[in-house]
Structure 1
Amino acid sequence: MVFPARSQLLPYVVLFSLTLALTLGGILARPIESLSLFWPVNAVLAGVLLRYPRQATPLGFALVWLAMVAADLACGSNWQPALWFNLCNLSVIVTVWLLLVRLPRQHRRMRSPQGVLCVFAACAAGAMVAASMACLMSAPWFQESMRATWLAWFSEQFSTCILIVPALLTAPSRGVLLHGGGKPIRLAPLLVLVGSLALSIVFGGPGAIAFPIAALLWCAWTYSPFLLSLLALMAGSSLIVAVAQNLMHFSVPQSVPGVTTLMSARLGIAMLVLGPLVVACVSNANRSLLARLEHQATIDHLTGALTRSAFTRLANALLDSRQQLDQAMPLTLMMLDIDHFKSINDRHGHGVGDQVLRTFAHALQEQLRDGELFARLGGEEFVVILPGLAPEHAQFTAERLRRAVQDLHLTHADPRLQMTVSIGLAGCAEGGPSPALDALLVCADKALYRAKAHGRNCVELAEQALRQTV
């Protein structure tokens, strides 16, 4: 069948449409004859183009600018300010994109403290460039001084970028969102954050914008960087709106000409979220490191089986829980040894030996059920615990495993190489006392040596006398 090729024009159409919709929304929400209270267009587009850099081409940037101009003209703006001030808006997007696109992925996605600081600096640089360009042409359209115009543009662009760009850069991919199997979210930090925001508005005053900092730090320690970024966006935008509507009775000294209440609040809120973002990044990095260390301590890197230490811990817990039951379930322990593994390494090399170990472990994992423990003790020796099966009944399972190994074929090895396994079994019947793990291993090991003595590639059960004394 012939399928139509993916259109190369469609992403640019989507980019143009997104810019047009965002710009129209920003214009309609903006006070008449005033700069926007909250202009998300530039920050959203910078984040989108950093996540999808294929559209960050001269054509893509030109379409963004044309969409902004079209939206301004559609809303009744004159063509000269529409062309120039949207060029200022575009400068924010281009500056942030240029400064962040070449960073390593770990920094660009804010998975390191350095990445947070780089994003912070890029947002500040983009706001400075836009503010400086706006000052060059402010006189015909604004009555404020050049200083006031610069501060107004910088404070709005900087605060908006700091609140929006991190949320877009840390957002998980669609596959993670759909198949991530999200964990339950702790509500306490979120409720405390909402309460601190309400207290900020009720209490009022310049210092009230710092009230949510403790709650944001708690959220940063508890939630992922993406969720923390969303909460910071919610908190920051709520405080900006509250200040703009004079709900917090926020005022600043007017000793510095051009500095207004809203400018001061925006800059303070932008700086407020920097600390929690760094904490969230460090906390997430620590969680990832601990998860990797736990995985390395639990899972054998070559075969994917449990490590010896992890097996010992889980097996002892299983035996302890069995001992606490009134009618203890039966249990079987298998010792498995790949036959003539040393000669495989000597004849074919350690690369083939590693392939044998991986193939063997994968074959056994496919045969075992959930709840059955499978571990690598070391070298070519493995162990399996089968809860709920007495040794006599576990012989059928052991034979199935032995045949599965015997039927294996290595794809990149000598076709004459034949893999087999010897298995020794020991365990306890239903209702019997729980043996010590070391005693079980000793009995199964003796049964394994008998299997080797009987020609290998066979299953041996621990002697009845040994099993009774376990």
Structure 2
Amino acid sequence: MPVDPMVFPVPSRLLLLLTLFGLTFGLTLAGILARPIESLSLFWPVNAVLAGVLLRNPRHASTGGFALVYLGMVAADFACGSSWKPALWFNLCNLGAIVSIWYLMSRLPRIHRRLRTPHGTLCLFAACGAGAMVAASLACIVAAPWFEQSVRATWLAWFSEQFSTSVLVLPLLLTAPSPRALGRSNTQPIRLAPLLVLMLSLALSIGFGGPGAIAFPIAALLWCALIYSPFFVSVLTLIAGSTLIVAVAQNLVHFIVPQSEPGVTTLMSARLGIAMLVLGPLVVACVSHANRGLMARLEHQATIDHLTGALTRSAFTRRANALLDSRVLHTPHAPLTLMMLDIDHFKHINDQHGHAVGDQVLQQFALTLQEQLHEGELFARLGGEEFAIIVPGLAPELAQFSAERLRRAVQDLRISQAELQLTITVSIGLAGCTDATQSPPLDVLLAQADQALYRAKAQGRNRIEHAEGLRQRG
């Protein structure tokens, strides 16, 4: 009996909304409990975290989702004994920051929103600034009765805290890899030198002190940005920025601001300065990551044939020469076989069925051979329908069985294209060196294998021939 596909989404949607409410409630409760008594928080990461969660999960960013966020924050205030008026008005300011950041960042393409470009990082700083302005302005309008400071001081206090915290926290959430990406990533050892230098620079900031001390870690952060991923750099900027803000708040760096501007405090100035300092490392991290990705793609294009997935001729030449050089230096008595393979009557396939079918034949042929190969064997497309395989550790006079296995796999291949069914065959020429012979140059091996391949073609195709002077077994 068919099942109505609309039966299950409602509970699933409800669970997601309850999760959003619970996350908001928990984050707000933790922020309230960590807040000094009768004072604004040194850090209030709730707004930045929720903005990041909504940007990473757009289906939550609805009217109902924002309403649940607001209710979650108000409920946490009530749970801590706050009266209803400050709970409603203060959290309206927080909601204003969340909505502003979300709205501005959600307008960007995904590549910018995930901070994979310098443009995205600059837009994030602008969005954090706008969100902080909205929160600070609302605080001056609706929350002024609960502050003893002037309107100017209230605005600066809210803006500096909201801006600095958002700039430190949001990049971490927006660049965080998904669980699926983590599963695909290759674990590589982390270079410790930049990390150690960063820790040392933070220690020097606290030990040396003075207004300039907040700039000490910038060189180490830039070094980290050249080495690490944007996500890890975001983690480091959060750690460095938070450490400096706490150090300033606790007067550990003796950061003094001349009071020429009424309402400007040491902590406000430090927050804004630290927030601006992390812009450089984040932009550099994005540029460096993009360059590494570009170089990896260029390397892949130069190494792997885009149609068949085999090595390109130039990549094969480099690796084969390295293999032959290694044989000379380390294993001079190790045998080696080079196979030259050519699809029979491939020109006829292209002429009769078109190049699209020909490409399909090349792809299926290459895939069939790759399934038969073992680790350490080099497989390359030399051009057109001609391929080469190097099998280290196998003497050419003993390679008949391996070559026959490849020939049969190709002969048994059935290629379907629309209503067309094709079968193909391959001719193979063998050359190489035994344990008693020196490694000839690669171009000599290729020429010998090519001559053997020519004889296989001349003697009827779909067969294997050895280079002159090699004894055939099979």
- Do both proteins adopt the same fold according to a TM-score greater than 0.5, normalized to the shorter chain? yes
Aligned-pair distance for 1:431?
Answer: 3.1
CA contact (8 A) 2:377 2:390 kept: yes
Alignment of 1:173 onto 2:178: yes
Aligned-pair distance for 1:181?
Answer: 2.7
The match for 1:5 is 8
The match for 1:445 is 450
Q: Distance in 2 between matches of 1:305 and 1:326?
A: 26
Q: Deviations over 1:384-441 (max 9, x none)?
A: 0010111121111111101101111112255452211111111111131011111111
SS in 2 for 1:464: coil
Q: Deviations over 1:139-158 (max 9, x none)?
A: 31111111111100100000
Alignment of 1:342 onto 2:368: no
Q: Structure 2: where are the runs of 5+ without partners?
A: none
SS in 2 for 1:411: strand
CA contact (8 A) 2:248 2:255 kept: yes
CA contact (8 A) 1:138 1:149 kept: no
Aligned-pair distance for 1:178?
Answer: 3.4
CA contact (8 A) 2:396 2:470 kept: no
Q: Distance in 2 between matches of 1:306 and 1:155?
A: 55
Alignment of 1:288 onto 2:285: no
The match for 2:311 is 306
Aligned-pair distance for 1:229?
Answer: 0.2
Q: Deviations over 1:211-242 (max 9, x none)?
A: 10011011111110000000000000111111
Structure 2 counterpart of 1:369, one-letter code: H
Aligned CA distance change for structure 1 residues 416 and 283 (closer, same or farther; 3 Å): closer
Alignment of 1:356 onto 2:361: yes
Q: Structure 1: where are the runs of 5+ without partners?
A: none
Alignment of 1:411 onto 2:410: no
The match for 1:59 is 64
Q: Deviations over 1:249-286 (max 9, x none)?
A: 11101110110111000000000100000000000011
Structure 1 counterpart of 2:120, one-letter code: G
Structure 1 counterpart of 2:192, one-letter code: L
The match for 1:227 is 232
SS in 1 for 2:399: helix
Q: Distance in 2 between matches of 1:366 and 1:120?
A: 50
Alignment of 1:259 onto 2:264: yes
- 2:29 aligned to which of 24, 41, 48: 24
The match for 1:37 is 42
- 2:255 aligned to which of 208, 225, 250: 250
CA contact (8 A) 1:443 1:466 kept: no
Alignment of 1:271 onto 2:276: yes
Alignment of 1:460 onto 2:445: no
Alignment of 1:80 onto 2:85: yes
The match for 1:102 is 107
Q: Deviations over 1:47-101 (max 9, x none)?
A: 1111111111111100000010011111121111111110110111111111111
CA contact (8 A) 1:329 1:388 kept: yes
Structure 1 counterpart of 2:323, one-letter code: L
CA contact (8 A) 1:138 1:146 kept: no
Q: Distance in 1 between matches of 2:402 and 2:418?
A: 28
Structure 1 counterpart of 2:425, one-letter code: T
Q: Distance in 2 between matches of 1:383 and 1:25?
A: 64
Structure 1 counterpart of 2:140, one-letter code: C
Superposed CA RMSD = 1.6
SS in 2 for 1:8: helix
SS in 1 for 2:428: strand
Aligned-pair distance for 1:198?
Answer: 0.9
Structure 2 counterpart of 1:101, one-letter code: S
Alignment of 1:142 onto 2:144: no
Structure 1 counterpart of 2:8, one-letter code: A
CA contact (8 A) 1:352 1:413 kept: no
Q: Distance in 2 between matches of 1:354 and 1:254?
A: 74
CA contact (8 A) 2:86 2:143 kept: no
The match for 1:393 is 398
Aligned-pair distance for 1:137?
Answer: 2.2
Alignment of 1:183 onto 2:182: no
Q: Distance in 2 between matches of 1:466 and 1:344?
A: 34
Q: Distance in 2 between matches of 1:389 and 1:104?
A: 53
Q: Distance in 1 between matches of 2:470 and 2:231?
A: 61
